[in-house]
Structure 1
């Protein structure tokens, strides 16, 4: 009895675990040992769970790596002071927004299928558009050559134009860039509350336009624009506006 008792007590959790791992059939003696069978059943459950986890890890390691997303193009830096403003009308803005959304929706599927080529093409198009905008934007030689008026001065009068949402601005010119010489006072239309009487402003008025499409208020905002203008003037003098 003593030897049999020692034999049963000598069974360990390691024996039950090994039997669960190897899957070998249990001898009859082991099947009559309740403690051993409890350990064996627990070991079988643990081994099954471990195998399931290993299969998940194996599948994950066997899958091709997910390609890293293409880096988003860096936004084109916008030149100009914070208070520089351009005149825009609500209808035009709304139409532009709708067109932009429609364009994005229409092109989304194509972009997903042509990610690589689209990235290169989009980057090239963005660079070209940015380049064209820079060539024709305020402060560029082309803008200076074709503008009706680019000048600094002090606002001496602001008169509302009834029913238009605009004001008639009278400017005492202190410095004219285009043309080289201008009238001492000039007048033009601007949107309401764009500038106030007594303010020092810089304006750019395109040819055949009634008012500026660009203006800056105050020396802090005007100074960097002045630098761009003076640097571009020599080249602008060589250009002929179409």
Structure 2
């Protein structure tokens, strides 16, 4: 591991979540770091989702209930004990508020992957997925609905071929897909580029995550032992991811 990777680079002085919260320009060098950009874009998506649901909560709480119609006087009747909502919009408002609050809480929880992952995400300085990805970092990424909503591919498979890409220091990996999480149905074979030093070997079983417009994975996990604990994280986050709209450009 190079000294540059260990120091994480000057742009990581401003983490992706802080950059998304402030809305200012990205720090120098961040635009060339796919992992930083993936974290930054996911944070922006989660923040936008959070703002929308907070608006729903505000509307539900602030909107007064519709006035109850004035009924003609009737003979006094004995009231049956029990709770009954007055006519108006209060039940709907409370239900909407509860739903929005739950959704907002989910969005806030999703921001946790940015904080726990930082900008590293197991990528090397050249922008390819590193062969060694910590289980904690991969779990944070793949267990986040915001990440899954913006990923063009999250899949497992067996490496069929690794071939040097002409005119570059990257390898083109051909993967036979055995299980696709995002999208639900992928091509039988997919290809992607990785740095030569990070490329898996033929026959390796890998779990790969590739961003919306990326040619290279931002997260690559090799081996059944490391992949197995991530499956439940992915399937658990997929339901929430399907209800999200990716706001990455």
TM-score by length of 2: 0.45
TM-score by length of 1: 0.46
Whichever of the two has the greater Rg, that structure is: 1
Is the helix fraction higher in 1 or 2? 1
